[in-house]
Structure 1
């Protein structure tokens, strides 16, 4: 099953995606709201208003997550390109909900940073509350997956040893286009990032050092993860900052991140 959050009249609503048609699931403002209300089963059989999804205005698939937890240095090839050893534990940082934008929204390049980079990522959406769970329980708590681009202001990221200030810029992180339930994520799925059509990243998502269930288990040791919370699992090798010389996103360029079986975010960069 696929779910999307669409914009309408200053608000948002949830639809089940069937081809180019969205079937409205009444009563829910976004997919996070639906998950908190236990509405997955309802969404599977909803028969609300039909919407043509061709050119539809999609919001971030979850607009109201309680937590957005991100993982750094979690693909083997990216760790090696950054000259680091494989980690013993996940590297975690956070964003706020107002960092999220829709899958086709513009990326606004801030005037304060000339070093805006891409990071294509598989994102996990939590479906049930979990605290101190093992990996089996963690896997059962995953509502589904979506695509994210962890847009990063590299100069701000490396101002200090803490990455937060380069990662949590407002309206900087495309997420979507859909939540796909775990059965939709195909074995051997690849993540591909392109800049103006030029391939920059291509890696199977199973190259993760810490997979989705391991991350949910680990993070739930620290605090409760609730329905609608979002976990960005990290980016593979091929980021612009690791290139010699560095390559960064410029105004007018188009950045896409595609994951087999999950979908694609596609965003135009514009100057602030």
Structure 2
């Protein structure tokens, strides 16, 4: 099934059930008012929503209305947990190579994860407000999973059953602020503003055979200012799959229902597929020519992130955003 959160004037929005072709939707407040309420009671509510989803997809719901992506908030307007990994280690290797740094061998055996800000996510078609272009504005096209309650110490082989939903991500990054923060030895904070998620969250079964080995085996397509920027396959070169990421994050703590775990920037060794962030393209230019040619994003620039099925249909809807200058009130 496919789910979205409409803006109803309340902070956590209204949970909506969306048809497979993203054409129709229906409010499901009689079952669950919000996405978080659904995840808190997944075992009880999900079977009820699946029955409604089957009816919606066969045209049997008389109260269905046209789905409007511009009414969507983030599927989770806020969340208890947002942890982003870096599962495509070739991307990390490239970052370090560009600055002449060796990569520790443990990066291939132990996932990199940081804990992001989850109290405020940007709606999928809303502007990205930032105060300065000098911060080095970048997008990062990713996939994320959402879990139910995950026990501490869950084994990798048991982790997949806790993955209930998937979303696309734009993990906005401020590249020129990152070096100073990392130099302090305490991780990201100011360099990671609010992230964005796709209009629709889906259950893994919606991907059919494209969901295998806890990976999504489809290209993730990014357009920058209306031009194709990259379409690397998310199932290729993913060093750590989502089950491994969930088990890693839950090693020393339980995860609460609604925890969001990101894949990190999608990246393939085959560079002909393009990239999923500006930083990677700049790294490749630096390695080839000694300096980057591509600029980071400026005010007025747009980014669109989307995934299509094998028939060319949008699966999650598109993250479609413009960077604008933030003016404090």
TM-score by length of 2: 0.75
Name the structure 2 match of 1:145: 166
Aligned 8 A contact 2:133 2:299 in 1? no
Name the structure 1 match of 2:234: 205
- Deviation at residue 79 of structure 1 after TM alignment: 2.5
Distance in 2 separating the partners of 1:212 and 1:55: 27
**Which SS does the other structure have where 2:169 is aligned?**
strand
Give the direction of change, closer, same or farther, for the CA distance of 1:91–1:271 in structure 2 (3 Å limit): same
Name the structure 1 match of 2:48: 42
Name the structure 2 match of 1:240: 278
Higher percent of residues as helix: 2
Match of 1:32 among 30, 36, 57: 36
Give a deviation string over 1:211-269, Cα, whole Å, max 9, x none. 10111111111211121110111003432224113521111111011123442211111
Give the direction of change, closer, same or farther, for the CA distance of 1:269–1:50 in structure 2 (3 Å limit): same
Computing the radius of gyration from Cα coordinates, the structure with the larger value is 2
Which structure 2 residues correspond to residues 253-272 of structure 1 after superposition, within 5 A?
Answer: 253-261=301-309, 262-263=315-316, 264-272=318-326
Higher percent of residues as strand: 1
With 173-182 and 41-50 compared, the bigger mean Cα shift is at 41-50
Aligned 8 A contact 1:32 1:64 in 2? no
Distance in 1 separating the partners of 2:325 and 2:190: 18
Aligned 8 A contact 2:232 2:266 in 1? yes
- Deviation at residue 117 of structure 1 after TM alignment: 0.6
Aligned 8 A contact 1:201 1:236 in 2? no
**Which SS does the other structure have where 2:5 is aligned?**
strand
Distance in 1 separating the partners of 2:238 and 2:262: 12
Q: RMSD of the TM alignment (CA)?
A: 2.2
Give the direction of change, closer, same or farther, for the CA distance of 1:163–1:152 in structure 2 (3 Å limit): farther
Distance in 2 separating the partners of 1:204 and 1:192: 9
Match of 1:176 among 190, 198, 204: 198
Paired residues, what number?
269
Gaps of 5+ in 1: none
Aligned 8 A contact 2:133 2:297 in 1? no
Gaps of 5+ in 2: 53-60, 212-216, 268-274, 283-291, 310-314
Match of 1:216 among 243, 246, 251: 246
Distance in 1 separating the partners of 2:90 and 2:111: 15
- Deviation at residue 138 of structure 1 after TM alignment: 0.6
- Deviation at residue 163 of structure 1 after TM alignment: 3.9
Distance in 2 separating the partners of 1:30 and 1:189: 29
Name the structure 2 match of 1:101: 122
- Deviation at residue 105 of structure 1 after TM alignment: 1.1
